[in-house]
Amino acid sequence: MFIHKKAQIKLYIMTAIAVVFFTIGTGSSKSTPSSSDETYKGLKLFSDVIEIIEKNYVDPVDAKDLIQKAIQGMISTLDPHSQLLPPEAFEELQVDTKGEFGGIGIVITVEKGAITVVSPIEGTPAYKAGVLARDIIVKVNGESTKDMMLWEAVRKMRGPKGTKVVITVFREGAQEPIEFTLVRDIIPIESVRYVTLKPGYGYVWVTNFRDNTAQDLGKALSNLEGSKAGLKGLILDLRNNPGGLLNESVKVADIFLEKGIIVTIKGRHKKNTQEYTAHADGNRHNYPIVVLINGGSASAAEIVAGALQDNKRGLVIGTTSFGKGSVQTVEALRDGYGLKYTIALYYTPSGKSIQAQGIIPDIVIKPKMLEEDDSKLEDNYPKEKDLKNHLETNQKGELKKEPKKEVKEEPKKNDKKEEKKNLPFTEYRHGPLTAEILLSDNQVNRALEILISYDFLKGMQI
């Protein structure tokens, strides 16, 4: 999701990239008397319903809770990225763009309604205690996590350094739940990791786009370029990168580009329309780049991939990206609430909107687990187009005006092999990152082969 912070705009994707915000005005348009009358009538009807329910419903109800749910329901009909943020969620939303936080050091998600560990982060309390990927967290401090929102679970496990938290996990193969008493520590947020795969060939993984991501990438490139063999080629891994801060994604693309458009944002109001261009800084990185993407690459990650692809600066391989091309802002409301809503769409340098379409790789390379099935050209990730009430664009990149189609949920297969397909390489990505581990990844291997082939072929005499 894109978020404004005064002059800055930032990106955000569901699964947990936090933001900074400011209040957006209503623009220059004014309501006509007739539209104001209709709005007043609608609000009066809403007020009447709340009053009747509060007074006469069979069970006592909390009017404040009813109003919150009504607002949430109203906003959710707009698109899947607009929502009302309760104070706790609004506060958590701002944490992940910072450099660190107090916690236990695990990456979690919701899988089939259960709070599931994606991976423990190397060197953290959870990692040292033996929490493993695929552990299902069933309790936090004795409280059941059933029906618990992801942000609620995150909030309960985070806290000041030195304080304790008890998590109870269910682990496949274990006879009974396992309980861990963990002492919280400061968890650094690392968005750039890198390693040399072979002399002269570097690998950089950008996990998401937070404050200082571009700066950290610059340091990683300096280290790789400063090695004895130098840098003949680079793999830029954006797989499973859910997005983050727009300004950081623009800076990352700008590192590799000397000129050209990086991304264009077009909104209903002029203030929400802007074009970002690359600038030559004298620090050229003259080596070929292969960019890895998949269905988990979204938003800011798609901006970088699209910018390098359209400017002919990098070869994009993998599978089609998520397709989140909408821009959100977060507006502060009273009593600590926040309102996140869509204000614009973004476009790649060639003018393409990727909304609900995604970045299509130059070469489709499926994960090894799907290579045997030629009928599947995509990975198993849900895409923007699969989300209810997603925005759609026409061939000109303009929002379609016709009613949105309801997304039909496909029945889930109870097949362990299918489940494994949804387990990305992120399970080991927060542990030690080595060339040996990475070279067991067929997509990384193919990227390396492309770089080595390019270096070999350009030296041939014809």
Rounded CA-CA distance 251/273 in Å is 18
Among candidate residues 237, 310, 379, 441, the one labeled active-site is 310
By C-alpha distance, which of 392, 294, 339, 318 is closest to 24?
Answer: 339
Annotation says 404 is catalytic: no
Annotation says 299 is catalytic: yes
By C-alpha distance, which of 319, 303, 300 is closest to 311?
Answer: 303
Backbone angles phi and psi of 324, in degrees to 5: -95, 100
Instruction: Scan for tokens 């423990």, then name that residue.
Output: 120
Among candidate residues 324, 340, 366, 383, the one labeled active-site is 324
**Which pairs from 154-161 meet CB under 8 Å and 24+ separation?**
154/16, 154/92, 154/108, 155/88, 155/92, 157/103, 157/104, 157/106, 158/95, 158/101, 158/102, 158/103, 158/184, 159/102, 159/103, 159/184, 160/102, 160/184, 161/102, 161/185, 161/186
Six token digits for residue 246: 């727009």
Rounded CA-CA distance 191/208 in Å is 6
DSSP 8-state code for residue 206: E
Under a CB-based contact definition with an 8 Å cutoff, are residues 83 and 76 in contact? yes
Rounded CA-CA distance 242/322 in Å is 9
Among candidate residues 249, 299, 321, 353, the one labeled active-site is 299
Six token digits for residue 155: 């909030």
CA 271 to chain centre: 25
Look up residue 299 and give its amino acid. S
Largest pairwise CA distance in the chain: 87
Annotation says 28 is catalytic: no
Q: Which residues are catalytic?
A: 299, 310, 324
